[in-house]
Amino acid sequence: MTALHVRAAVSDGAGSTVVRELTLPDTVSRLRVESSAVCGTDVMLHQRGLRAPAVLGHHTIGRIDHLTEADAEALGLEVGTRVAVEEYVGCGRCAECRAGRYRLCPSVDLWTGGERVGMIPVSRGSGLHGGNAEYLELSARHALHRLPDRLTVDEAAWTLPLANAVDWTLDAGGVGPGSTVAIIGPGYHGLSCVAAAVAAGAETVVAIARTSSAHRLELARQLGAVTERNDDPDHDVVDVVRETYGPLDAVIDTIGRPETMASGLRMLGRFGVLVIAGLAGGDVALDPTAIVRNLVTVRGVRGRSPQAVERAIALLAAGGTGLERIPSYYVPLEGVGGTLRDMAEGRAPVTPHVVVDPWLRVTDPIPTESPKEIR
């Protein structure tokens, strides 16, 4: 039996990450990681969210590098296939798994003590259970989606946030051709929601943020959104939105603060949908009159369906998302800890598309963050 020696960024869940060499035996299947995009959950897990040290990274793209016979048969995939890896490793036996809703399987539900790719302890098996490593251990229960080879590394790295955006904006929010929608919080997921809405043919997409996020509003504009600020003391953003764009069909709140949810609700017209996709929290009282009078639906969302992943891949392959215009900030394994700490302390890179490239060496020049020219 041979084994691979694999470099991995191991995080302790208390704000520290070190690069270690872990061993992956040939008796288990593996993915050669191409990219591991960073989301807000990683920042939380890195600073205070892990029960035990783990390799973070749950928005993983890569190529199948080795498969046991049993896994090849169960997954129906071959070595060499490029895939997006969902973080949900469902049990495969419960009612939710059997219905294809493995994101709700108790064994992956963080609210009931479950765990996912990017937080499974490094002490288990090879320890390689997150994207922030050269290789990721695979099993027959991993949820993998084929990716076309023609997608660039940048484009492919958007697969899972765009899949979340498809689930939240198009499926839960009902946004489609001719819709009017506001996206509150144009961060990593908010910009993906803008891209999904534009690609789905929405007529008006309003990106809303504070003045301190002006650079992210500019990125939203490049994707096709109009933008408004929600901290102008002289103008209530609800009045501005209603007067300029009329009552909206949907609002996707990626922040989930009391004030963003309350203002989102007031922007909606009849049969409007308020999608709550952020968990900033706080005591919230949504105005029942606004809900009842306009027959509004308030929906919570968690992750995404497998169908949303497939639709996101189709959108990326069709080339209409514009996400390639968003600059990517690549981080080597040695930079994972510092970058996640910076993000936790409000010193995030200007672009919200932060991607770990486990093959980038610290001796390589780190790409500087300069927005790519468009047009």
Residues that bind Zn ion (CB under 5 A): 39, 41, 90-91, 94, 97, 105
Q: Which is nearer to Zn ion, 39 or 147 (CB)?
A: 39
Q: 3-state SS of the chain?
A: CCEEEEEEEEECCCCCEEEEEEEEECCCEEEEEEEEECCHHHHHHHHHHCCCCEECCCCEEEEEEECCHHHHHHHCCCCCCEEEECCCCCCCCCHHHHCCCHHHCHHHCHHHCCCCCCCCECCCCCCCCCCCECEEEECCCCCEEECCCCCCHHHHHCHHHHHHHHHHHHHHCCCCCCCEEEEECCCHHHHHHHHHHHHCCCCEEEEEECHHHHHHHHHHHHCCCEEEECCCCCCCHHHHHHHHHCCEEEEEECCCCHHHHHHHHHHEEEEEEEEECCCCCCCCCCCHHHHHHCCCEEEECCCCCHHHHHHHHHHHHHCCCCHHHCCCEEECHHHHHHHHHHHHCCCCCCCCCEEECCCCCCCCCCCCCCCCCCC
Q: Which is nearer to Zn ion, 107 or 204 (CB)?
A: 107
Identify the CA nearest to 204 among candidates 233, 165, 232, 245: 245
Q: Which is nearer to Zn ion, 41 or 159 (CB)?
A: 41
Q: Residue with structure tokens 């809900």?
A: 291
Q: How far is the CB of 180 from Zn ion (least distance, A)?
A: 28
In the bound state, the residue with its beta carbon closest to Zn ion is: 105
Q: Which is nearer to Zn ion, 94 or 238 (CB)?
A: 94
Q: Which is nearer to Zn ion, 56 or 261 (CB)?
A: 56
Q: How far is the CB of 58 from Zn ion (least distance, A)?
A: 6
Q: Which is nearer to Zn ion, 94 or 240 (CB)?
A: 94
d(CA 93, CA 119): 22
Q: How far is the CB of 39 from Zn ion (least distance, A)?
A: 3
Q: How far is the CB of 26 from Zn ion (least distance, A)?
A: 28
Q: How far is the CB of 304 from Zn ion (least distance, A)?
A: 10
Q: How far is the CB of 40 from Zn ion (least distance, A)?
A: 7
Q: How far is the CB of 31 from Zn ion (least distance, A)?
A: 18
d(CA 56, CA 45): 8
Q: Which is nearer to Zn ion, 105 or 191 (CB)?
A: 105
Q: How far is the CB of 90 from Zn ion (least distance, A)?
A: 4
Q: How far is CA 297 from CA 264, 269, 276, 302, 360, in A?
A: 12, 11, 11, 16, 46
Q: Which is nearer to Zn ion, 96 or 134 (CB)?
A: 96
Q: How far is the CB of 374 from Zn ion (least distance, A)?
A: 26
d(CA 303, CA 86): 10
Q: Which is nearer to Zn ion, 90 or 127 (CB)?
A: 90
Q: Which is nearer to Zn ion, 41 or 351 (CB)?
A: 41
Q: How far is the CB of 346 from Zn ion (least distance, A)?
A: 19
